[in-house]
């Protein structure tokens, strides 16, 4: 596998900290959530960073390559468009599933795939489909998880290794996720780092979290704790990572605190103790080359035996594996978001914790997507109470923006909010954003409410 070009030390670009990011000294690169930018209307801040020579990498969160279904061509095309618009050297996504098609459910979150042969076969073929469609190489991130699948056949290290061997995909290793899985699933970060092909490393994520009642929550809203920096140091002892990135998604601190975190990360990364077997993989000089490797679009396996997989490609056997994986994922996701029974073998308490976390995240993201809703409903507390009541019986089926509209419909059908002026505002808000839709029962009721509110 060809060496990666150096990215250096960077930070996740978010609109809330755009100005602070621009002012950070010694900033080598940034990563953006791919779904949050539009290729034809890139934020001015990103354009200025790109003009300065700061590299920008789009990081996808919605492909669900670990899901039972084949990747959505439209989502792949959208990710590729963002890579081209940003001049990105690569794109990244996650080893996770985020939805099911039967029943149609959205997690709104990255959920772990079972480490089974079936799931690995499905993931590998989905990765190949993505590689063929994308204009730049792809790297995949290990995720944090609260729950473990029963009956797993492979360790995390073996699962990741076989994925790389069979597809040639790069790895994005999140050291905070390794710590999360140590607390939540008893997995040793050192064992994972010792068992994976570090020559496939594209870059590294570092983020903060918090432990509550024996569960580590990967919040990206807290400072990076020393224990996560220790995992980064352990990785650095084994390999000189091509890039390291600080992630912060909420409760943004003062600019000086962000800068200080980057300094601490850089101090770990620039340590000279790393003499492990993987260090040779990072032997490209900073700034060398315009792409992460010379493999071209799709980052196919090396022709010299670097991992071409002679295995199944959408054969009846793979179709059967997709069915089995889909049934398991649907049962788990339905238990998490629709209140159906917990599948046999899962830790019921952990499922309850995960379900509460998903609902809380859903409420928070909808409030960000539609910030008018809390204000119209009388403030954050009133909004949260109303949304949690709605979410208990209404699983998300089509993303957060649709969820915001469905929540508004739900309230209007119940003649809520109680204040007539607030109800008129909510009705106007809903009509303005819902667009033309077939006049089904809910729409007819909403129109009736519109007439009554007028």
Q: How is residue 52 written in tokens?
A: 């300065």
pLDDT at 217: 86
Cα–chain-centroid distance for residue 406?
Answer: 24
CA 430 to CA 435: how far, in whole Å?
Answer: 9
pLDDT at 254: 94
Q: How is residue 453 written in tokens?
A: 């509110």
Whether residue 367 contacts residue 373, with contact meaning beta carbons closer than 8 Å, is answered with yes
CA 392 to CA 408: how far, in whole Å?
Answer: 15
Those residues with Cβ within 8 angstroms of residue 253's Cβ, 6 or more apart along the chain or in another chain: 223
Q: 3-class SS at 59?
A: strand
CA 261 to CA 406: how far, in whole Å?
Answer: 40
CA 117 to CA 187: how far, in whole Å?
Answer: 20
19: buried, middle or exposed (CB in 10 Å: 19+, 13-18, 0-12)? exposed
pLDDT at 307: 42
- The pLDDT mean for the chain works out to 88
H-state helical runs in 24-137:
44-51, 73-86, 117-133
pLDDT at 449: 55
pLDDT at 305: 35
CA 372 to CA 425: how far, in whole Å?
Answer: 10
pLDDT at 271: 83
Q: 3-class SS at 399?
A: helix
Q: Cα-flanking dihedrals φ and ψ of residue 296, to 5°?
A: 80, -175
pLDDT at 364: 94
Q: 3-class SS at 141?
A: strand
Strands 210-212 and 215-217: antiparallel
pLDDT at 365: 94
CA 265 to CA 259: how far, in whole Å?
Answer: 10
Taking the C-alpha atoms of 19, 20, 25 and 30 in order, what is their torsion angle to the nearest 10 degrees? Answer: -80
CA 168 to CA 180: how far, in whole Å?
Answer: 26
pLDDT less than 70: residues of the chain? 272-313, 436-454
pLDDT tens-digit readout, 283-316: 332 333 333 343 444 444 443 333 445 445 678 9
Q: Cα-flanking dihedrals φ and ψ of residue 205, to 5°?
A: -100, 145
pLDDT at 309: 53
């Amino acid at each position: 596998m060809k060496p990666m070009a150096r990215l250096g030390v960077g930070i996740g670009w978010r609109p809330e900290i755009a100005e602070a990011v621009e002012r950070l000294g010694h900033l080598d690169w940034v990563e953006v959530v791919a779904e949050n930018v539009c290729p034809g209307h890139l934020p001015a801040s990103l354009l200025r960073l790109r003009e300065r020579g700061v590299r920008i990498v789009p990081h996808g969160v919605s492909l669900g390559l670990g899901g039972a279904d084949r990747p959505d061509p439209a989502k792949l095309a959208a990710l590729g468009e963002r890579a081209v618009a940003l001049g990105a050297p690569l794109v990244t996504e996650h080893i996770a599933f985020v939805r099911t098609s039967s029943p149609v459910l959205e997690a709104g979150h990255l959920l772990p795939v079972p480490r089974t042969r079936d799931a690995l076969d499905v993931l590998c073929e989905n990765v190949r489909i993505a590689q063929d469609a994308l204009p730049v190489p792809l790297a995949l991130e290990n995720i944090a998880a609260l729950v473990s699948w029963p009956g797993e056949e492979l360790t995390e290290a073996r699962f990741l290794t076989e994925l790389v061997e069979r597809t040639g995909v790069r790895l994005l290793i999140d050291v905070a996720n390794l710590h999360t899985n140590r607390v939540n699933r008893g997995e040793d970060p050192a064992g994972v780092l010792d068992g994976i092909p570090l020559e496939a490393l594209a870059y590294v994520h570092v983020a903060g979290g918090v432990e509550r009642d024996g569960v580590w929550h990967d919040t990206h809203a807290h400072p990076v704790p020393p224990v996560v920096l220790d995992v980064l140091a352990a990785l650095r002892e084994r390999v000189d990572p091509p890039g390291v990135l600080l992630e912060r998604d909420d409760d943004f601190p003062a600019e000086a605190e962000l800068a200080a975190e980057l300094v601490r990360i850089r101090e770990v990364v620039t340590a000279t103790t790393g003499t492990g077997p993987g260090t040779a993989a990072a032997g490209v000089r900073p700034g060398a080359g315009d792409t992460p490797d010379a493999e071209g679009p799709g980052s196919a396996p090396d022709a010299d035996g670097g991992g071409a997989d002679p295995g199944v490609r959408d054969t009846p056997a793979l179709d059967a594996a997709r069915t089995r994986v889909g049934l398991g994922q649907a049962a788990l996701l339905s238990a998490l978001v629709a209140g159906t029974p917990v599948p046999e073998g899962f830790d019921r308490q952990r499922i309850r914790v995960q379900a509460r976390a998903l609902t809380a995240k859903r409420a928070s993201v909808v409030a960000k997507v539609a910030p008018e809703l809390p204000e119209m409903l009388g403030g954050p507390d009133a909004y949260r109470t109303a949304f949690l009541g709605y979410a208990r019986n209404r699983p998300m089926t089509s993303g957060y923006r649709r969820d915001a509209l469905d929540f508004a419909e739900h309230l209007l059908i119940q003649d809520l909010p109680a204040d007539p002026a607030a109800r008129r505002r909510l009705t106007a808000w809903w009509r303005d954003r819902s667009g033309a839709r077939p006049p089904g029962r809910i729409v007819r009721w909403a129109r009736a409410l519109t007439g009554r509110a007028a």
